[in-house]
Structure formats: C-alpha cells, structure tokens
Structure 1
C-alpha cells in the first residue's frame, strides 16, 4: 500500500483486526447476501446506495498497520484562522430554540480549513490507521479525495441477536479529569444521550446498561456508558441505523423532522462535511460494526477540512463550547504527528 488506490475503504474492529476493501466498488441499496461490504453514508442518510462492496478484501491487524506505516512521512499543513462569528450566531439561534422548547440539546459543527504542502490523502490514512484501540480507524478514499479518522464512538455492533452500543458525551482536557468527574453540565449532557439511547432500545430486548465511566484518550476525556442487549427478534443493519442515528451525542433531542431540519441547516451554514458524524460500517462474515465518523479529516488533493461538534444544552456557554471545539480539533491534529 505504498500509494493510494483509486478507491479504498477500511475499518478497525474491536478485536484488533482491520479490514481493507480495495476498489472498484459495487454500490447498492441493500447489503450483499454474503461476503464483505462497507456502509458509507452521509449524515442525513440521503445516499440511496450506501453499501459499497469491494473487488478485493485485505485482512490485517491494527498492530500490523502500525508497523507498516511507522516510517510514513508526515505532512505540513497551514491552518487558516477560524472566525468565531458564524458559530456565535448559530449558538445564539440554538439557545433561542432551546428556550422556546424546540430542543433540549443539539450539536452544531465547526470546520477548520487548511492547506497541506502535498496531496494529503496518504499521510492522513497512514496516521489514522496506526491509532490504537479504543480508537477505531476508518476511511474512504475515492481518487484525490476522501476522509479518514480514528473515532472513539461505536454506533453499534451487531452479531446475530447481540447488540452493543454506547453513550459517549461530555468532554474535557485530561488535566481537568477530577473536576470533569463532578461537572454537572457535562454529566447532564451525557445522561441526555444515555437515557435517550436506552429509551430507543427498550422495545427491542432486555437492556444491560453499565455505570458511567471516564474514557481517557490521552489529551482529552469523555464520559462513557456501555449498553448491551439481546434482541427479541433479528434486525437488519439498515433498521438499526435508522433507529439509532443520529444519537443525541451528534444529533438533536428530541429528534423530529423539525429539529433535524434545523440541525442540517446549521451544519451546512458552518461548512460541515456531509459525512461527518455519519454511520460508517462494515459487514463481514455475518457481523456488522458501525462507528460514528468523528475525529477525522476530509481532503481533496492538498485542501483539508477538520470538523468538530459540541453538544449544546441550556446550561452551555459560548466561550466554553468554543474551547471544547478547539480541544477536539487539537486532539485530531495530534494524530498527524510522527511516531
């Protein structure tokens, strides 16, 4: 893999394996009856043919990919100054909607733009594929453009009738872990997500919800709650995606046609890439794993886009959310540093 194929997709799984699909891909509205296929979709679930079945499949491991790319050259990227004014306007509109009773929570996204000193795709892929668990490397490449990241958030894993998902919400610097652990605003934001996920799954089977814990990702920490259940009857990946996406970690609460429409409008105004926060999945040997496409970089030749979202509730404050957005973007930039 010394250079990028015309098309490629990959996903790192929870067991430490990493599956790579090489194009050309066959696109379809339904998954194949057997074999391996990737689910590549936009946030609004508007791609009518999200299933991308590769011509060939490469099975490897996160460890092997780390060794393969340990000497990969890094890129230098100049980042443009980010104007807070557009986000400030959207933030005020969000708060107005919350005070009007339209939302309890939603997640606007800010995107930082940069220009690399060379076509960025290979260096980004190399950096993301060598990130260790609990981060899941993922990516989609189509010629000179694509996106890749290393996300901590699992949308769900489906193995037969066993379903696993998580609530991941609330963010702080690792240095602030002790204060974060008792921060009422961050706990409330997390509980919005966890309780809503549980309520969406109640009619599917018996739920096992873990205690809230802190996930330490080095430079930042999040609140994490694991949720597992045995489904009363089989469900398809498409059914579960439409039931769970977007979770309140990336979407509005409550999730209605009106609140989704407002969120789509705000994302578009702030220049958010359409796949940011979308489900990205892999059907392989009858098992389906879907992550949430966050903590990533989008590129087209030398131009790069780095989006990040923040959960806004009534207790949110503009300066704190702006700081959280920067914290998340800086965490992604650290992925690009050489080993």
Structure 2
C-alpha cells in the first residue's frame, strides 16, 4: 500500500483509508474522509477522501497494511542538544515576564536513526493505546507520522460541539503536589480561557470542573467544554478558529506571536505534524479532530520524536527540561519502541 491514513477512537473503533486520496477544502457531505494538515495549516484542501475505506481492528491491521512479517523498528537515538532549546526558553520567558506574551510552547525534537525494522509496525501499539486516547497515522512511501494523543481539538455533530483543555503535566504519584501547583494550574486555565472566548462566538458554552487525566505514564489537568451551537458549522471552519490552542501554540494568538512561534519551530526543526490537527468524519457527519501529540515522524532512516512544554511566568528551565523527557519517554513506552 503506497499511502494510507488511520484514525482510532477511544472506544476502539478505527478506520483505514487507502490512497490515492482526493483532496477537498470542506468536509464531504457523506463523510468517510480524513483531516490531514500541518501545524501551520498550509494545505488549503486538508480533507482527504480515500479511494478505499476499511473499518479495522488491531487483529485485521497487519494484513490491511501488508506488514508481511516485518519486524518492529529499532532506533539509535542521539542525545538532544540543550543549547538551542535553552536559548528559545530564555527568550520566551523574557517576553512572558515583560508581559508581551502570556504563554508559548517551544518544542524539542530528539532524532534517531532507524537501524532495522519497519516503523509501520508501531501502528499495532497505536491500535492498542489506552481507552482515553485517539490513534492517528498518515504514511507515504517516503515516510510518515503516527501516534496516540490524549488531546481532542473538537468533536462536532449537528449543533453539538465538544472540546477540552488539556494542559499542565506531572508524573503519576505526584498528584497531591500537582493539584496545588500554581504554575501548572495557571498554564491550564490560560487554555480554558482561550477556548471559552473562542467558543462563545458559536453558542452557549458550558465547562465541567477541572479534573485529572492519567494516560500512558503522565498526568494532566483536563477540563471538558461543550457548546450548543447557534447554527451547524462546517468542521473545516472550526479548525482555524481553535487551532493552535495555547496548549500547543501561544497566547495572545496574534500574527506577531504566531510568527515568533513558527520561527522557534523552524530553528528547533520540529516535524510539521506535531501539534497539528488530525481527524476523521464519519458517514453520519460526526467529525473528530484531535491534536497530534505523543507521536513520532520518520523520513527515510531518520526518526523524529518531538515533545513540547508551555512556558509561563512561573516556568523554570530544569523543570521544563525534565517534563520534555517524561513526555518522550511516555511516547516510547506507549509505542513499545525499542532502541
């Protein structure tokens, strides 16, 4: 199979779309299409209609993508360099303290070399990810990306829209301290405030109390939000309204701050998929769009493993550096990716 896309819901239902794909600017009325774009939303036709669509399970996956007995990948990782990231951290923190920005999320990417095996084999782990995660993948003959994310950008059907704020991170077992961590709460509430302001333009917003989301070896603050839309809205219009949220982007989300964010992403060589919207629309018009984090990308023999951290006034470099490592380790565990 030359090109394919995959999307798995937390309830285990999953779809595999075979290329060649037809590209559309808006979601097709009959559904059955994937939403694939990069972080900068540079594809004006991000809805991809596959030439063949299969409902798949973890059992039927290997045959569906012709894994033919290939082995799980083995990767030699290079130690991530601190200096570029440290420089970005200092600059962003200076801007935050000067009240020019409220928050920004730089991304550190660890790179590795594929020694043996086939990265597509990792899709078996994606299909078996925990029940509070969404699985995603887009693979071409030259490379691809895949992962399992705990972060929903939105789910829409008719006049109902659901979304979440997922920000603030700790290790399991540190819940007590985490629940009262002023910096982590601030980071989370910035995202909630942004989402509420954006969503109020669409209809009546309700928020559930902040709770904990434990998934794949990490704990996050999570707030569920829902909107009764005043009118049905094309999911294609909802993406640019919400993406990027301050959970993966910046606040304020004006052109100057976004340009700075893009500049940092280029300097730090962040793969385009990381933090981007990825989704699927079902035949009944239910659209699921997630934030593509907790994943890897590959091109030829080069593997990229990105992780991001939110910088606010209370951020300290050592703490953020440790958080980045925890997130990358969580991805390696989740995908059972061995070095």
Q: How many equivalent residue pairs? A: 334
Partner of 2:41: 45
| 2:54 matches 1:58 | yes
1 CA distance for matches of 2:210 and 2:129? 24
Equivalent residues in 2 for 1:186-265, closer than 5 Å: 186-265=184-263
TM-aligned CA deviation for residue 338 of structure 1: 7.7
TM-aligned CA deviation for residue 30 of structure 1: 2.7
Structure 1 unmatched ranges of 5 or more: none
1:170–1:67 Cα change, 3 Å: farther
Partner of 2:315: 316
2 CA distance for matches of 1:123 and 1:65? 10
| 2:163 matches 1:165 | yes
Does structure 2 retain, via aligned residues, the 8 Å contact 1:72–1:126? no
TM-aligned CA deviation for residue 208 of structure 1: 1.7
1 CA distance for matches of 2:7 and 2:245? 20
TM-aligned CA deviation for residue 121 of structure 1: 2.5
2 CA distance for matches of 1:223 and 1:63? 33
Does structure 1 retain, via aligned residues, the 8 Å contact 2:211–2:221? yes
2 CA distance for matches of 1:67 and 1:171? 37
Does structure 2 retain, via aligned residues, the 8 Å contact 1:75–1:118? yes
Please identify runs of 4+ aligned residues in structure 1 that moved more than 3 A. Answer: 61-69
Partner of 1:132: 130
So what's the TM-score if we normalise by structure 1? 0.93
SS of the aligned residue for 1:314 comes to: coil
1 CA distance for matches of 2:172 and 2:325? 14
1:66–1:211 Cα change, 3 Å: farther
Does structure 2 retain, via aligned residues, the 8 Å contact 1:23–1:55? yes
Structure 2 unmatched ranges of 5 or more: none
The more displaced of 213-222 and 161-170 is 213-222
